[in-house]
A = this chain, B = another copy of it.
Amino acid sequence: MNKNAEIIAVGSELLLGQICNTNAQFLSKELAQLGINVYFHTVVGDNADRLKHAIEIAKKRSNLIIFTGGLGPTKDDLTKETIASILGKKLVMDEEALFSIKEYFQKTKRVMTENNKKQALVLEGSHVLPNDYGMAPGMVVEEAGYTYMLLPGPPKELQPMFLSYGKLSLASKVDVSEHIISRVLRFFGIGESQLETEIESLIDSQTNPTIAPLAGDHEVTLRITAKHQSIDKANELLNNTEKDILSIVGEFHYGYNDDTIFSVLFQKLKQLNVSISSAESLTGGMFGEEITQFSGASSIFDGAVVCYTNEVKEKVLGVSSNVLSEYGAVSEQCASSLANGIKSLMNTDIGISFTGVAGPSDLDGKPVGTVFIGMSLPDGKTIVKQLNIPGTREGIRIRTVKYGCFYLLKELMHRNA
């Protein structure tokens, strides 16, 4: 059947501006991919009367109503209770959900208070969506031509629940005559407007696939979207457009869809079976943190030294006092010495180093944003890249690490295991 959706977020914290309604964004994106039209988002507080009012309005204009939030253990969590009263349905204890809540408390060695049981209550006759990252289960109820889906408020619970269980449940209800397939191409080291200018003629001439640039998180992505009755044909359209785009700006391209510069570098290091260590000054450990987010990181990452003071650079990483006094900590010479020093201390194939001025003040006469990245490579070659990065302290630090990964990736790109 044809589904028109409305997303109702329940929570006074949204109306007070304490958090942003990122759940509506996430779900809207997902629903668009399923070919479901979203016509309204509504946010309402933890108030039964106003929630009831919002549901009555939504029923006049939508037949799929997705609720986020209000499934927790406390008294102001009242989404289930309100829907139950509108639909004239009972709330019943879901034994499986209760079991996993009990298990959760046992595992964390915390005391389970009585109000936690409330989270295992579900609408009678509903299809329960397990919560793999929290306690309150979600649910889907069908009633008089309407589909109601209830999801927990915390994005860390909602997102995996929707992707693992909710999406499938909706997909089975949607009528698919045309397939809409998207692919995201990820770029680094080029600005949004420059990228758009370079491929302007492609953007102007394309209607299927469409090409949509989007800037975010210090990188640029292009989303290409094709429509066709045949999935294969839609994919072929995407392949051709991707080829056209990469023939122009391929040098800045590093990955697809949910790839990050970190995941791509991690995979490349694993594929080549080379180990790495990092010497980090302005980045304070950020490279190490990012590369160890992946399970199995120990097979390629040995460790790091965060050398925030000159003493540590000298004493632990063997940068000569000469280099520090003559060129300073923020210099090509220091970056080179740090990269070689960490590689030798940790006995790895590659050493990477980050030194620079994160701000807010200049350092040793070097302006904020001056950054040197050193790479001591498996063949004994040491390369240093200099950058001038604009932005805030935090922005400079993140982009420094991303640039380091991007440069190293480019160096490794054409090597094979």
Q: Tell me which of A165-173, A285-293, A332-340 binds B.
A: A285-293
Assess whether A44 is interfacial by the CB under 8 Å rule.
Answer: yes
A127-173 contacts to B (CB < 8 Å): 133, 154, 156
Residues of A within 8 A of B (CB): 9, 12-22, 24-32, 38-45, 50, 53-54, 57, 61, 72-76, 104, 107-111, 113-116, 133, 154, 156, 182, 191-194, 196-197, 203, 212-216, 223, 278, 280, 282-289, 291-293, 295, 297-298, 301-309, 311-312, 316, 345-347, 358-361, 369, 388-395, 397
**Once the chains bind, are A192 and B72 in contact (CB under 8 Å)?**
yes
Rounded to whole Å, the gap between the CB of A403 and the closest CB of chain B is: 12
Contacts of A282 in B (CB 8 A): 292
With beta carbons under 8 angstroms apart, the residue of B212, B292, B306, B309 that contacts A76 is B212
A193-B73, A287-B285, A298-B308 known; A39+B44 contact, CB < 8 A: yes
**How far does the alpha carbon of A394 sit from the alpha carbon of B293 in the complex, in Å?**
7
From the candidates B54, B74, B197, B345, name the one contacting A115 in the complex (CB within 8 A).
B197
Residue of B17, B20, B24, B303 touching A306 (CB-CB under 8 A): B303
Which residues of B have CB within 8 Å of A57?
A: 57
Identical copies of this chain, number: 2
Provide the bound-state CA to CA distance between A264 and B196, in Å. Answer: 43
Q: Give the chain B neighbours of A21 by CB distance below 8 A.
A: 20-21, 24-25, 41
Asked whether A303 and B286 contact (CB < 8 A) given A27-B17, A72-B215, the answer is: no
| Majority SS at the chain A contact face | mixed
Residues of B within 8 A of A395 (CB): 133, 156
A305 touches B305 (CB 8 A): yes
Q: Do A303 and B307 have beta carbons less than 8 Å apart? A: yes
CB neighbours (8 Å) of A358 from chain B are 295
Taking the closest CB of chain B, its distance from the CB of A298, in whole angstroms, is 5
A283 touches B293 (CB 8 A): no
Residues of B within 8 A of A312 (CB): 302-303, 346
Instruction: Check B194–A388 contact: CB distance below 8 A.
Output: no
- Residue in B12, B295, B308 whose beta carbon sits within 8 Å of that of A303 in the complex: B308
A193 to B389 CA separation, bound complex (whole angstroms): 44
Q: Are B40 and A43 in contact (CB under 8 A)?
A: yes
Give the shortest distance, in Å, between A373 (CB) and chain B (any CB).
Answer: 16
Instruction: Identify A42's interface contact among B18, B41, B50, B285, CB under 8 A.
Output: B41
What residues of chain B lie closer than 8 Å to A360, measured between beta carbons? 295
Choose among B20, B38, B115, B280 the residue that contacts A285 (Cβ–Cβ < 8 A): B280
- A345-B409 Cα distance, complex, nearest whole Å: 33
- How far is B196's CA from A390's CA once the two chains are assembled, in angstroms? 44
User: With A76-B212, A110-B191, A303-B305 as given contacts, are A28 and B41 in contact (CB-CB < 8 Å)?
Assistant: no
Q: By the criterion CB–CB under 8 Å, are B293 and A306 in contact?
A: no
Inter-chain contact B40/A24, CB cutoff 8 Å: no
Complex interface: chain B residues within 8 A of A203 (CB)? 75
Question: Given contacts A108-B388, A301-B308, are A39 and B15 in contact (CB under 8 A)?
Answer: yes
CB closest residue in chain B, given A103? B390
Query: How far apart are the CA atoms of A42 and B146 in the complex, in Å?
Result: 21
**B-side contacts of A115, CB under 8 Å:** 193, 196-197
Cα–Cα, bound, A144→B395 (Å) = 41
Q: A113-B193, A289-B284 are in contact. Are A42 and B40 (CB under 8 A)?
A: yes
Is B289 touching A116 in the complex (CB atoms < 8 A)? no
Known: A111-B194, A192-B73, A193-B74. A17 touches B25 (CB 8 A): yes
A395 to B208, CA, bound (A): 40
Contact A133–B38 (Cβ < 8 Å): no
Give the distance in Å from the alpha carbon of A22 to the alpha carbon of B17 in the complex.
Answer: 9
Instruction: Say yes or no: A305-B306 contact (C-beta < 8 A), given A39-B15, A212-B12, A285-B289.
Output: yes
Residues from chain B with a CB closer than 8 A to the CB of A114 are: 197
